[in-house]
Structure 1
Amino acid sequence: MNILVTGAAGFIGSHVCEALLQHHHVIGIDCFTGPTPKRWKEKTIDMLKKHNRFTWIEGDLLSLPLVDIMKQVDVIYHFAGMPGVRTSWGTTFDLYTTNNIVATQRLLEACKQHRPKQFIYTSTSSVYGEKDGRVAEHMTPTPLSPYGITKLAGEHLCRVYHSEFHVPTTILRYFTVYGPRQRPDMAFHRFIRQMLFDEPITIFGDGTQTRDFTYISDCVNGTLAVLGNEKAIGETFNIGGKERASLNDVIAMLEEMIGKRANKQYMNKAIGEPKHTWADISKAERLLSYNPATPLQEGLRHEVQYIRSLYGGS
């Protein structure tokens, strides 16, 4: 089976590529956009290129000949996009509309002529906004940021191309994924790096905000469970963890693991971010047999080890 992965050099996309390559041919596309340094992404791609079933295309979905590429594709995993809540305000919004909306529409348009067996769109818990308690897929999305709005627009595009042109779409909403290769702007990566280099830890808000943290291997398992699953066509799934914690709790765990006291600097709450997230994953458990299993402390240890190696074993 030939599987196209957009955003193949990114955090989640690269891990999914690794897993798919065990049994499938993967065509990876990336244009190295976003906050992760290009040299880190190039190193990831070099690793993937060692697999003889991996085909690499460096290019932008806005300009690549997608119709021609689709002729050789059975399934699409669409990870490519511009990430980040805090940077989606102001003049950078153009990057979000082009990379998250226009690029998705262009990819779906190409699927009209050469319809794949599946089109899996990766979305985010940011589409929900602020909700009380567990959030289920049927709840009305009310995003708080321009980023969340563009990802929700991508979801709506998937739904109309499914209903009008029978493109077999599935939507996955990820909840705060962490682990090796996490973007440098994300909280766990920042916290660990700042502690390793004895820098102040910058915390937006009072640190009592909680998240439903999802370790990367659990996220990958949930993502791959959609492949070949006819029950997933036309559906939306939450991909979350089973262990919520506050940022203050996470920092306390990191202090113990790293053996240093954090110099915590609390800043104004970031606009566009909910106070709490909590995924109802019962639908994914029922239809995808999704079962996140990595404890938060174990996942954090893996990320600490990775970031130590990334910055020269500090």
Structure 2
Amino acid sequence: MKIAITGAAGFIGSNLAQSLCKEHEVLALDNFDNTQRFENGKKKYFGTFKNLLDYNGDLYCANLLDDEFYKVLDEFKPDVIYHLAAISDTTVYNEEIILKSNVNSFKKIINIANKYDAKLIYASSASVYGDAKSPQTVGKDERPKNPYAFSKLMMEKIANLYCKNAVGLRYFNVYGKNESNKEQTSSMILQFANQILDKNEARLFEGSENIFRDFVYIKDVTKANIAALNAKGGVYNVGSFKARSFLDIVLILEKELLNLGLIKDEVKKIYIKNPYEKAYQFFTEAAANKDFNYEADYSLEEGIKDYLPYILKERL
């Protein structure tokens, strides 16, 4: 098949591109990191050439907000579009920038998908649930708490209205290979690992033992994206379907690094006030989907163990 992937040099996109290019004709589209930052000091774009060193397919550098991006996508005449490009920082509160980048651009993607009767598989987010009770279920209690989450919910509604064949995937807390360019917005698995390896300490929010998230490994997320090729239109959760605490992450890392001889003592836990408390999700856990042929292969212990060699290699 001819498969286009937007945001293909980013975290999830690069893992997917490297998997799909083995069997399909793939066009990778990405803006790439141009060193620009938001007012909060965080990067605007996470795509990097380093994530595509093992990718064998076509590549084009362009921005979602430019006509050139859609011209190249249109000329490719895709059978499938994976739309992963977006502003994904939940702490960016400029609503105009978020909605122009995420929602307006999505309508153009839909037009091209409809033109070629292409399957459209797009990234949504568990953030659309806000404070909904766990396990979070598609179609129940979606109350976004920030502009990013709202943009993702609107994308789902627009796809339902205008796209012939669209699948939305609500990612929970994804971690794994190729996320290091995300810096402060990378997973807490990576951030805690680096804190421990640097100073044998972990900086946790107060009450972290009672903050639960559904952490899902990148290999499972890639698996879910491929499963979406055969899924009927709709929106589906992509998680591990088991919530774990932030303290669990630290304790798992502590055990693995002690076993490897990379630390010698118990990790020092430093507790700090949560600066994002008003817009924070304190308990996320994906409810399984009845009509989606996907289940997670990796527990948090298994995912961290598989991920650690890559983290260590990145630090060399």
**What secondary structure does 1:282 align onto?**
coil
1:232 pairs with 2:224: no
CA distance 1:37–1:126, shift in 2 (3 Å): closer
**What secondary structure does 1:47 align onto?**
coil
1:252 pairs with 2:251: yes
1:220 pairs with 2:226: no
The correspondence of residues 275-290 of structure 1 with structure 2, limited to 5 A, is 275-283=282-290, 287-290=291-294
Match of 1:74 in 2: 79
The correspondence of residues 78-89 of structure 1 with structure 2, limited to 5 A, is 78-85=83-90, 87-89=91-93
Q: Does the CA-based 8 Å contact 2:31-2:45 persist in structure 1?
A: no
Q: Report the Cα offset of residue 39 of structure 1.
A: 9.4
What RMSD, in angstroms, separates the aligned Cα atoms of the two structures? 2.2
Residue among 306, 309, 313 paired with 1:305: 309
Match of 2:6 in 1: 6
The correspondence of residues 4-83 of structure 1 with structure 2, limited to 5 A, is 4-32=4-32, 41-48=48-55, 51=56, 54-63=57-66, 64-67=68-71, 69-71=73-75, 72-83=77-88
Report Cα offsets for 1:115-140 as digits up to 9, x if no partner. 33201111000001112221111213
1:171 pairs with 2:172: no
Structure 1 residues without counterparts, runs of 5 or longer: none
Residue among 259, 268, 282 paired with 1:262: 268
Report Cα offsets for 1:229-263 as digits up to 9, x if no partner. 2x522x11111103321001111111122234134
**What secondary structure does 2:296 align onto?**
coil
Identity of aligned residues (%): 26
**What secondary structure does 1:147 align onto?**
helix
**What secondary structure does 2:214 align onto?**
strand
Q: Does the CA-based 8 Å contact 2:8-2:47 persist in structure 1?
A: no
Structure 2 residues without counterparts, runs of 5 or longer: none
Q: Does the CA-based 8 Å contact 1:205-1:269 persist in structure 2?
A: no
Give the count of matched residue pairs.
294
Q: Does the CA-based 8 Å contact 2:131-2:143 persist in structure 1?
A: yes
> What is the rounded CA distance, in whole Å, between the counterparts of 1:38 and 1:158 in structure 2?
24
Q: Report the Cα offset of residue 176 of structure 1.
A: 0.7
The residue identity in structure 2 corresponding to 1:281 is: A
Match of 2:297 in 1: 293
> What is the rounded CA distance, in whole Å, between the counterparts of 2:314 and 2:101 in structure 1?
28
CA distance 1:55–1:93, shift in 2 (3 Å): same
Q: Does the CA-based 8 Å contact 1:61-1:106 persist in structure 2?
A: no
> What is the rounded CA distance, in whole Å, between the counterparts of 2:96 and 2:201 in structure 1?
32
Q: Does the CA-based 8 Å contact 1:6-1:79 persist in structure 2?
A: yes
The residue identity in structure 2 corresponding to 1:97 is: L
**What secondary structure does 2:279 align onto?**
coil
Q: Report the Cα offset of residue 188 of structure 1.
A: 1.6
> What is the rounded CA distance, in whole Å, between the counterparts of 2:118 and 2:64 in structure 1?
20
The residue identity in structure 2 corresponding to 1:69 is: L
Q: Report the Cα offset of residue 83 of structure 1.
A: 1.3
Larger mean CA deviation between 39-48 and 20-29 belongs to: 39-48
Q: Report the Cα offset of residue 218 of structure 1.
A: 1.0
CA distance 1:291–1:206, shift in 2 (3 Å): same
> What is the rounded CA distance, in whole Å, between the counterparts of 1:125 and 1:21 in structure 2?
28
CA distance 1:60–1:238, shift in 2 (3 Å): same
CA distance 1:8–1:304, shift in 2 (3 Å): same
Match of 2:113 in 1: 111
Q: Report the Cα offset of residue 67 of structure 1.
A: 4.4
